[in-house]
Chain A
């Protein structure tokens, strides 16, 4: 079936360094790619998203890039801070039932640890 692969599963960086998390997807019709941050015991929260008609989107220290040809997208966090420590999930839309539904397929998550 359709899937989204996410790497790495864990990432440790020093405060102030950059962090990059990468995802690949298999459905060429995918057109929406959100990134969620989940702190321990909390709900996932959207931090940034991108649609297929855009190659890059930035919001302060966070950016997402999309390569539709290669079917991969990446999350970039610059100037990392300890409060960035969390699990990050990527996702991509997948059409089902002949295009009648359009659900999200999630990656398996990346545990980011920012060392002070």
Chain B
């Protein structure tokens, strides 16, 4: 899973600002995912993409947006519409959806 990276590791944002989290993979995986992790709530799916130029909403998509213009990249934008954005964000990829997912190191977002 060293082939999937996220940046930055820590991110601070003021209320009302949009912020974009980076996720890159060199594993040649078709599917990519964004999860949010809060204490005691496990991993909740925000958005996922089975293939380039296509993506679907997960369980908690409100206040977030994504793009998948390249196979290697799946950036997540946390918009000002997300009411409680402070969390640990994990990106993952898999050869195809439903297969083993490899996770990035995560980005911890804090809203000041």
- B50-73 residues with Cβ-Cβ distance < 8 A to A are 50, 56, 58-59
A-B contacts counted at CB < 8 A amount to 56
In the complex, residue of chain A having the shortest beta-carbon distance to the beta carbon of B90: A43
Taking CB atoms, residues of chain A closer than 8 Å to B56 are: 96-97, 101
Partner of A42, one of B35, B44, B105: B105
Taking CB atoms, residues of chain A closer than 8 Å to B42 are: 6, 89, 106-109
Taking CB atoms, residues of chain B closer than 8 Å to A45 are: 1, 103
- Is A46 interfacial (CB-CB < 8 Å)? yes
- B95-112 residues with Cβ-Cβ distance < 8 A to A are 97-106
Q: Which residues of A approach B to under 8 Å, CB–CB? A: 1, 6, 9, 31-32, 34, 36, 42-46, 49, 89, 93, 96-97, 101-109
Nearest first, the 7 closest Cβ-Cβ pairs linking A and B are A102-B98, A108-B42, A43-B103, A106-B43, A106-B42, A102-B97, A93-B98
